[in-house]
């Protein structure tokens, strides 16, 4: 990559080719507002918020797609650029519900932030037609509210480029263009796998997690970084926690294993955490704890599960394995491990089976 | 017919075809029937069937040749008859009932049916035996419609059978290709096209040769040659006429372009609403493949080139080159920002060259006749000719090809014959729904890329719509805006939402609900759409509105301030009145009035009862004495008086 020199807002920047103007500006700490841009997805140039003035260019150019080349002289906040951005926001707001007071995205909405930054209020085109789409997608995970959609195509790109499912597309044209699923049916009936990547990148509340609806705004939650407990990939998640309850899973883009993307379980499968049936301590049958013989009846007290501590539970398990091995031989035991365990855990189970128990009867659920 | 394996094969074939044609012509007359979509719509199908019937009834062995559009749409159906040693004679507006007389008189008796004959073409098929011109019948070049035209892209339209490659070859077809692939290097072709000054006929006017050079120099294989035949402007049919009337000229031009830039594959993106054009293109491609003029080892060289047709599904925006390529790839037809330009990264991210039908169709002529010949026509910065579809309130609607630099006045009044029914000219819209309208004061503007843009309109791809005094310019702008905003793909914000808001304001004005602030708002939205939209569709959508506001501001103000539509178009904003001094009491208006609003005795001035009048305009249309005028609504006048 050739080294290039360009000027942004009078500041001379030396960098390398192969980047867009936006990337160069961001690296140099120069702010350019965006709506349809996401660093993890290919640029689209649709929203026109990142338009900048580039000398010797006929018209304003989108910074997110314009290649940075040697000698460019760029103005990111000239009066013309700022006036155009304001117009874009006025247009977007003219077909937006403006219900920020009750919107789940308030405080975490790029449209809201930019409208605030540019002092754009509703009203200029209040007599104009506003869409009134029904909000009724029956799926259990994702709230679809097309009235709040700004058609940035981020969801479409996330679905196409990250998950490869292509469940989301744009339907119809012009003012009637809107995002739709499958053959413009419900998300429920589309090929959607509910990975929630679309939700993660949506800049408004057009696609939002149903489970979090009404549970808290961004400034009311505590953000807790964690690793997903579902499988061995080790996806990094950021939990939004309010009053000790997880209300949603947010993407953290620096997660080395998943770069912010998740599957349906990591994104939406956290309800088990607070489920009343969740086991929080190990349990053993009462007869084992009491050191008695296995009862014939399964209805009696001895057959019941009893909470205990980890050491007791593990000791009982180990003892039972040992006696079974000694009595019936190692091959009387089979070990089945899980994709929920890490590689290291699976490795240890392998060691346990082959060396401690002495059997090759070990398998893994992912082999199915 | 065997493959043509060398330029000599082609030349021999040409001579052979001409010889056969000459021999055939000595025994059988040639009858040409205009069978473009325009001709067929005017009844050419029935005319052709009647001719066949009549011929077999008289046992005449004549060759009936279907041809494309000759341009005189107002005079379709056109039937031309050519007897051996005689010029080709054109009969215009032919009805099936007139066929027996024409055939009897012209073919059997050998006399031109003078009362019906319209013009003659003595120079047609110059290689036929020498022809003597008919007396007392104007030649095509003497007709006002043709006298100022120079036909390059339309050279063969209406002249040859578009479904016969032999007919095309007989008219020097594929000679340019032969010259290019066997006698010129890629660079030489590009230089020739660059020197000719040919600018893209799709509307943007970028230098075709420079575009080819970018693509030639671009790294990456394969490369693609793409023809944009997604002609979608309302009232435009230039490309369709070339596709239907002379498809081989496009094929030849694209093949030359493919050779020049180093491409082996080409796509013709044609809208599916042109079924006849697609059918003829398919035939043309298969014929050219059989002759070895497409496919592998063209004319025995190492050059291979294949052409594919992609039918567009009807989105206007797919005429934008990046949306067009997305559509070929099977994606939603949405434009993407440039750079990268298609020449560097186009179809499937490979170097691609996209040109309009007419640009390609002109290419063979430039290669054959040289860049100086082409440059000799037109103006310095807009060389050659421009093709226009002349429509609207004009006498000679049709398809014309004129040298660049001709004035609008010459086109409208000389070629077009002026405005019918003695009405007054009001405006001419060039550039289609994304262009602009120009008023009478701009009629002396030369028609070229730069002058039209400077005057406030655009060249566009060749739509030219003339409107008369009865057209409301606000409604006219609203019509185009309705079209353009409905055809917006919806990808970028300014076009998707700006178009809608602009349309709402214009609708409000045409309904009498506008305010003077709305005019500022129109300006504001328009300027921002122009500055911020992603592609030319969004940038030019406000064009007709801005042009009409610039040149016809008083009409906007009349709608807003006086609640009056001076043209009598916007419902509720006008009423009709009978001028006492003009009215002779003929009663035509009384008969035409569907609501019984007009009364009056014979030979006495009539009166309209405003309470009964529904402003349908029937009386206005039938009155021959211009006695009926459009006036503001009476309630509005009274309201204004009261307020004052």
CA distance A92 to A303: 65
Bridging pattern class, strands A362-364 and B30-34: unpaired
Picking from A44, A91, A127, the nearest residue to B494 by CB comes out as A91
Query: Within this chain, do residues B201 and B54 fall inside the same structural domain, yes or no?
Result: no
Query: Within this chain, do residues A346 and A365 fall inside the same structural domain, yes or no?
Result: yes
Query: Within this chain, do residues B214 and B342 fall inside the same structural domain, yes or no?
Result: yes
Closest CA to A230 of A280, A195, A264, A278: A264
CA distance A182 to A170: 10
> What is the per-residue pLDDT for A368?
54
Chain A residues touching residue B501 (CB < 8 angstroms)? 91, 94, 125, 128
> What is the per-residue pLDDT for A342?
85
Task: Determine whether the interchain pair A177/B490 forms a contact, defined as Cβ–Cβ distance below 8 Å.
Answer: yes
* pLDDT tens digits along B553-570: 999 999 999 999 999 999
Which of B334, B496, B525, B527 to probe by mutation at the A interface, max A CB count within 10 Å? Answer: B496
Q: Does A52 touch chain B (CB under 8 A)?
A: no
pLDDT < 70 regions, chain B: 1, 130, 636-641, 643-644
Count CB neighbours of A76 within 10 A.
21
> What is the per-residue pLDDT for B222?
96
Q: Tell me the residue range of the domain where A262 lies.
A: 216-277
Query: Within this chain, do residues B448 and B515 fall inside the same structural domain, yes or no?
Result: no
Query: Within this chain, do residues B583 and B554 fall inside the same structural domain, yes or no?
Result: no
Q: Tell me the residue range of the domain where B430 lies.
A: 385-471
Task: Determine whether the interchain pair A175/B485 forms a contact, defined as Cβ–Cβ distance below 8 Å.
Answer: yes
Q: By the 8 A CB rule, do B174 and B9 touch?
A: no
CA distance B315 to B334: 10
**Which residues of B make CB contacts under 8 Å with A?**
315, 317, 332, 334, 336-337, 339-340, 485-501, 504, 524-525, 528, 531-534, 539
Q: Does A331 touch chain B (CB under 8 A)?
A: no
CA distance B390 to chain A (A): 29
Task: Determine whether the interchain pair A151/B496 forms a contact, defined as Cβ–Cβ distance below 8 Å.
Answer: yes
Query: Within this chain, do residues B333 and B198 fall inside the same structural domain, yes or no?
Result: yes
Strands (E), B313-422: 352-356, 385-392, 398-403
Q: Which residue of A has its CA nearest to B503?
A: A128
> What is the per-residue pLDDT for A30?
97
Bridge partners (DSSP) of residue A239 are A224, A249
CA distance B420 to B394: 6
Q: Which residue of B has its CA nearest to A65?
A: B337
Assess if residue B165 is contained within a domain.
no
Query: Within this chain, do residues B443 and B335 fall inside the same structural domain, yes or no?
Result: no
* Domain CATH number, residue A48: 3.10.20.740
Would you call the peptide bond into B340 cis, given omega within 30 degrees of 0 as the criterion? yes
* Domain CATH number, residue B405: 3.10.20.600
* pLDDT tens digits along B509-529: 999 999 999 999 999 999 999
Query: Within this chain, do residues B532 and B610 fall inside the same structural domain, yes or no?
Result: no
Bridging pattern class, strands B352-356 and B224-229: parallel
What residues contact residue B642 under an 8 Å CB cut-off, 6+ apart? Answer: none
Tokens of A351: 């060691």
> What is the per-residue pLDDT for A238?
96
Q: Does A153 touch chain B (CB under 8 A)?
A: yes
Query: Within this chain, do residues A9 and A61 fall inside the same structural domain, yes or no?
Result: yes
Closest CA to B387 of B415, B409, B364, B368: B415
Count CB neighbours of B437 within 10 A.
29
Query: Within this chain, do residues B269 and B366 fall inside the same structural domain, yes or no?
Result: yes
Count CB neighbours of A144 within 10 A.
25
pLDDT < 70 regions, chain A: 367-368
Picking from A66, A84, A176, the nearest residue to B532 by CB comes out as A84
The total of structural domains in chain A comes to 4
If residue B120 lies in a helix (H) or strand (E), which one and from where to where?
strand B117-121
Q: Does A341 touch chain B (CB under 8 A)?
A: no
Assess if residue A91 is contained within a domain.
no
Assess if residue A115 is contained within a domain.
no
Query: Within this chain, do residues B239 and B357 fall inside the same structural domain, yes or no?
Result: yes
Count CB neighbours of B522 within 10 A.
23
Assess if residue B4 is contained within a domain.
no
* Domain CATH number, residue A262: 2.20.25.90
Query: Within this chain, do residues B507 and B585 fall inside the same structural domain, yes or no?
Result: no
Return the number of CB contacts < 8 Å for A and B: 109
Task: Determine whether the interchain pair B339/A67 forms a contact, defined as Cβ–Cβ distance below 8 Å.
Answer: yes
Phi, psi angles (nearest 5°) of residue A53: -95, 125
Query: Within this chain, do residues B252 and B366 fall inside the same structural domain, yes or no?
Result: yes
- Which one of B418, B443, B471 terminates a domain? B471
Tokens of B113: 């049916």
Query: Within this chain, do residues B278 and B364 fall inside the same structural domain, yes or no?
Result: yes
> What is the per-residue pLDDT for B636?
67
Assess if residue B12 is contained within a domain.
no
Count CB neighbours of B573 within 10 A.
27
The total of structural domains in chain B comes to 5
Name the A residues in 111-130 with CB < 8 Å from any B CB.
Answer: 125, 127-129
- The dihedral sign for the CA sequence B144, B145, B150, B155: negative
Assess if residue A168 is contained within a domain.
no
Tokens of B365: 């002529």
Q: Which residue of A has its CA nearest to B315?
A: A173
Q: By the 8 A CB rule, do A24 and A9 touch?
A: no
Picking from A87, A151, A172, the nearest residue to B532 by CB comes out as A87
């Amino acid at each position: 990559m050739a080294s290039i020199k360009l000027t942004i807002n009078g500041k001379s920047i030396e960098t390398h080719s192969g980047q867009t103007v936006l990337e160069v500006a961001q690296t140099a700490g120069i702010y350019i507002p965006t709506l349809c841009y996401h660093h993890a997805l290919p640029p689209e140039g649709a929203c026109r918020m990142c338009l900048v003035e580039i000398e010797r260019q006929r018209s304003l150019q989108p910074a997110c797609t314009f290649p940075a080349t040697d000698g460019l002289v760029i103005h990111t906040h000239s009066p013309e650029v700022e006036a155009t951005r304001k117009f874009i926001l006025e247009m977007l707001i003219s077909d937006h519900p403006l219900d920020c007071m009750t919107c789940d995205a308030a405080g975490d909405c790029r449209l809201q932030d930019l409208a605030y930054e540019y002092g754009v209020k509703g009203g200029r085109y209040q007599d104009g037609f506003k869409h009134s789409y029904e909000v009724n997608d029956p799926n259990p995970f994702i709230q679809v509210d097309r009235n709040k959609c700004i058609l940035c195509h981020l969801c479409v790109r996330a679905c196409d480029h990250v998950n490869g499912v292509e469940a989301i597309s744009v339907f119809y044209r012009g003012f009637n263009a809107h995002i739709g699923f499958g053959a413009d049916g419900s998300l429920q009936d589309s090929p959607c796998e509910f990975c929630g990547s679309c939700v993660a990148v949506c800049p408004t509340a057009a696609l939002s997690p149903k489970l979090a609806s009404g549970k808290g705004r961004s400034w009311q939650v505590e953000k807790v970084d964690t690793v997903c407990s579902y499988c061995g990939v080790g996806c990094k998640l950021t939990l939004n926690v309010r009053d000790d309850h997880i209300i949603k899973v947010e993407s953290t883009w620096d997660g080395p294993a998943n770069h912010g993307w998740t599957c349906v379980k990591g994104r939406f499968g956290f309800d088990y955490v607070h489920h009343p049936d969740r086991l929080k301590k190990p349990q053993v049958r009462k007869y084992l704890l009491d050191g008695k013989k296995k009862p014939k009846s399964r209805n009696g007290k001895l057959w019941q599960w009893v909470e205990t501590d980890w050491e007791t539970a593990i000791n009982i398990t180990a003892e039972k394995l040992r006696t079974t091995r000694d009595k019936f031989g190692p091959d009387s035991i089979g070990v089945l491990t899980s994709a929920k365990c890490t590689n290291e855990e699976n490795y240890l189970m392998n060691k346990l089976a082959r060396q401690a128990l002495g059997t090759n009867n070990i398998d893994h659920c992912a082999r199915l | 017919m065997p493959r043509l394996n060398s330029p000599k094969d082609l030349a021999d074939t040409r001579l052979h075809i001409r010889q056969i044609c000459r021999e055939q012509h000595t025994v059988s007359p040639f009858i040409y029937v205009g069978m473009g979509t325009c001709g067929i719509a005017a009844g050419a199908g029935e005319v052709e069937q009647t001719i066949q019937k009549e011929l077999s009834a008289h046992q005449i062995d004549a060759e009936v040749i279907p041809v494309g559009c000759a341009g005189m749409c107002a005079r379709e159906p056109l039937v031309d008859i050519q007897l051996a040693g005689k010029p080709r004679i054109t009969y215009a507006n032919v009805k099936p009932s007139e066929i027996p007389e024409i055939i009897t008189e012209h073919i059997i008796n050998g006399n031109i049916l003078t009362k019906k004959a319209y013009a003659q073409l003595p120079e047609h098929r110059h290689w036929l035996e020498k022809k003597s011109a008919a007396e007392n019948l104007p030649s095509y070049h003497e007709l006002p419609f043709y006298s100022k035209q120079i036909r390059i892209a339309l050279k063969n339209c209406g002249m040859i059978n578009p479904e016969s490659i032999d007919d095309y070859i007989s008219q020097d077809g594929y000679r340019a290709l032969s010259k290019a692939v066997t006698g010129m290097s890629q660079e030489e072709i590009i230089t020739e096209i660059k020197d000719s000054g040919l600018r893209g006929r799709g509307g943007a006017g970028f230098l075709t040769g420079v575009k080819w050079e970018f693509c030639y120099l671009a790294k990456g294989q394969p490369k693609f040659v793409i023809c944009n035949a997604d002609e979608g402007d309302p009232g435009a049919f230039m490309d369709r006429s070339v596709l239907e009337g002379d498809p081989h000229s496009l094929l030849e031009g694209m093949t030359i372009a493919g050779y020049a830039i180093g491409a082996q594959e080409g796509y013709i993106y044609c809208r599916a609403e042109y079924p006849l054009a697609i059918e003829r293109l398919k035939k043309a491609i298969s014929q050219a493949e059989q002759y070895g003029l497409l496919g592998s080892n063209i004319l025995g060289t190492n050059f291979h080139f294949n052409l594919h047709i992609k039918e567009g599904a009807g989105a206007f925006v797919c005429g934008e080159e990046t949306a067009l390529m997305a559509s070929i790839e099977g994606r939603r037809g949405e434009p993407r920002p440039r750079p990268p330009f298609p020449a560097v990264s186009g179809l499937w991210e490979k170097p691609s060259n996209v040109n309009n039908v007419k640009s390609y169709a002109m290419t063979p002529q430039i290669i054959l006749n040289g860049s100086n010949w082409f440059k000799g026509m037109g103006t310095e910065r807009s060389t050659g000719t421009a093709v226009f579809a002349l429509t609207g309130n004009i006498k000679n609607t049709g398809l014309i090809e004129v040298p660049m630099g001709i004035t609008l006045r010459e086109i409208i009044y000389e070629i077009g014959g002026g405005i019918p029914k003695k009405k007054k000219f009001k405006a001419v819209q060039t550039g289609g729904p994304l262009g602009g309208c120009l008023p009478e004061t701009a009629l002396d503007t030369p028609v070229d890329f730069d002058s039209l843009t400077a005057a406030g309109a655009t060249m566009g791809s060749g739509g030219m719509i003339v409107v008369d005094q009865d057209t409301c310019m606000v409604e006219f702008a609203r019509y185009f805006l309705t079209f353009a905003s409905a055809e917006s793909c919806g990808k970028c914000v300014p076009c998707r939402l700006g178009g809608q808001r602009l349309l709402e304001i214009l609708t409000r004005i045409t309904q009498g609900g506008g305010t003077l602030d709305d005019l500022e708002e129109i300006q504001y939205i328009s300027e921002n759409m122009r500055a911020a939209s992603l592609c030319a569709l969004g940038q030019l959508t406000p064009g007709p509105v801005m042009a009409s506001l610039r040149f016809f501001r008083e009409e906007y103000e009349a709608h807003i301030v006086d609640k009056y539509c001076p043209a009598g178009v916007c419902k509720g904003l006008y009423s009709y009145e009978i001028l006492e001094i003009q009215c002779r009491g003929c009663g035509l208006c009384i008969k035409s009035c569907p609501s019984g609003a007009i009364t009056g005795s014979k030979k006495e001035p009539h009166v309209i009862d405003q309470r009964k009048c529904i402003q349908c305009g029937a009386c206005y249309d039938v009155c021959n004495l211009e006695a009926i005028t459009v006036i503001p609504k009476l309630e509005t006048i009274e309201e204004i008086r009261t307020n004052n």
